[in-house]
Amino acid sequence: MNKNTAKRVVVTGLGIITAIGESIPTFQKALFNGECGIGPVSLFDTTGFPCEVAAQVKIKDLKEFFGAKGIKRVSRCDLLGLIATHEALLDSDLDSERCSKKDIGVVLGGGAGGMLSWEKYRRTSWLKKTKARPSPLLSIAQCTLTDLIASRYRLTGSRATISTACSSSATSIGYGFDLIRSGVHEIVITGGGESLSELTFAGFNALRLMDPEYCRPFDKSRRGLSLGEGAAILILEDYESAEHRGATIYAEVLGYAINSDAFHMTSPDPEAVGMSRVMTKALETANVSIDKVDYINAHGTATKINDQVETKAIKRVFGEKSARALAISSTKSMVGHCLGAAGAIETVATVLALSEQVVPPTIHLENSDPDCDLDYVPNNSRAQEVRIALNNSFAFGGNNTSVVFGRVQAQKKKMKSQK
């Protein structure tokens, strides 16, 4: 693409629902207070698993959110996603009338989609006691949330769902960035949702990748990840369009890269080649020098190998000395690993770090690990200058994504009343 005609891409709306907060204000407060959302799971029986806990969204009935009109035949993942979308569009001051007039794209990342609905159906038919109702099966695909958002807000632009496990929704932000930068769309809705499911819960347990208590990223005594659920939606917009309509600008998307370890289905390459190359490539496409980077929202799953290899990769990209000057945190320590939604949730955390100039902490970090010897902002958030921030997501299959964000000072936070 011609660099001179490439558009600038900014974030003009945020929406979120997680175990530690069900809206941007509550999430932000919990994020900077270092609250932990990991606890008992009520969605299905976890008795007997090596790890029985996860970061489940606390609201009892998600359908209540949709008021008297209600909502039918929607999976838990889609409910979470629609709640976050509602907030993001409102935040971006895009009502349904405005939405339908613009050719808005929807590009999301998906993990297990409506797996929980399929599991209920399958369990019932396997037990053969009662006949299972088939209607929930309509929404089992990863892309159902993408389609639901488009139909609810009458969006006729590009439609895509990326499904690369834990890096899905981070890549969706990258693709949304491409579509705006190249002039295909002015506005793209990005992000993703994920609900806990027996499949992923049993899967990570079977692989012995889960900490029985709670995940403790970068800690010497870490024993694995904690799963989480939630959704995050980010409205990406052409800078000129955002300026023109006086939208709130949270941060700028500067670039991204995706690549493959081409190494192993579940293990990262111990030499950290893929992880370091993806960060380097992302910084190159963003055209920023490494000394401007102040914060990295790490993948930081709290598995023995991920945290060690990610640390190695960061050192390789930034050099030992500069790596030590970075603030790095794993917000998974608070919201758990939300798989398909992880990249989007962590992007919201990254964007808030830029707009608030506060870096979120890594909680449960008590004992330092000689293999993880960088500044992981242990246990307490920190007010500091954040100019450029990076968000890392590394998935099963060796699918790596790194997205680069920049602070937008002058335009930040116009009061809504001034519009």
Partner 1 sequence: MIDIAITGIGVISPLGVGREAFWENCRKAKTGIRKITSFDTSSLRSNIAGLVEGFDPRQFMPPSSYRRMSRISRMAVASSVEALKDSGLILDSVDRERIAVIMGTSYGSSSYVEDFYISLLKDGPRGAQPFLFPETVPNAPASHIAMFHGITGPNTTFCQNEISAENAILYAQNLLLQNQVDAALVGGADELSAMQYSCYDAVGALNKIKVENDEPINPKLGDGLILGEGAGVLVMERLDFALERNAKIYGILRSGVITGGITSVGHYEVEGKQMARAMSLVMKKANISPDDIDQINVSANFSSELDRMEHNQLKRIFRKPTKNLPVTPLKYLIGDFGGAGIIRAAAIFLSLYHQLPLPTVSAEILKGDSECSLAWNVPLTGKIHIALMTTTTFGGGSTSLVFTKS
In angstroms, give the least distance from the CB of 104 to partner 1: 9
In angstroms, give the least distance from the CB of 235 to partner 1: 16
Regarding 43 and contact with partner 1 (CB under 8 A), the answer is: no
Q: What amino acid is encoded at 226 in this protein? A: S
Based on the residue annotation, tell me whether 337 is a catalytic residue of this protein.
yes
Question: Judged by CB under 8 A, which of 63, 213, 241, 263 binds partner 1?
Answer: 263
- Map residue 72 onto helix, strand or coil: coil
The one segment of 29-37, 91-99, 154-162, 322-330 that binds partner 1 by CB under 8 A? 154-162
- Map residue 61 onto helix, strand or coil: coil
In angstroms, give the least distance from the CB of 262 to partner 1: 4
- Residue 272: phi and psi, rounded to 5, are 65, 25
Q: Which of 237, 120, 144 is CA-nearest to residue 190?
A: 237
- Map residue 284 onto helix, strand or coil: helix
Q: Which of 370, 334, 366, 339 is CA-nearest to residue 349?
A: 334
CB-count exposure of residue 260 (10 Å: 0-12, 13-18, 19+): middle
Question: Judged by CB under 8 A, which of 257, 283, 328, 359 binds partner 1?
Answer: 257
Q: Of residues 51, 99, 185, 299, which has the active-site annotation?
A: 299
State how far the Cα of 346 lies from the Cα of 384, in Å rounded to an integer.
19
Angle (nearest 5°) at CA 156 between 155 and 162:
80
In angstroms, give the least distance from the CB of 211 to partner 1: 16
Task: Pick out residues in 194-223 that bind partner 1 (CB under 8 A).
Answer: 198-199, 202-208
Regarding 182 and contact with partner 1 (CB under 8 A), the answer is: yes
Regarding 147 and contact with partner 1 (CB under 8 A), the answer is: yes
Closest to partner 1 by CB, 90 vs 138, is 138
Regarding 258 and contact with partner 1 (CB under 8 A), the answer is: yes
Based on the residue annotation, tell me whether 244 is a catalytic residue of this protein.
no
Q: Which of 334, 270, 322, 272 is CA-nearest to residue 293?
A: 322
State how far the Cα of 37 lies from the Cα of 335, in Å rounded to an integer.
6
Based on the residue annotation, tell me whether 299 is a catalytic residue of this protein.
yes
Task: Pick out residues in 81-140 that bind partner 1 (CB under 8 A).
Answer: 105-106, 110, 115, 118-119, 121-123, 126, 132, 134-135, 137-140
Question: Judged by CB under 8 A, which of 56, 144, 169, 362 binds partner 1?
Answer: 144
Which residues does the annotation mark as catalytic? 166, 299, 337
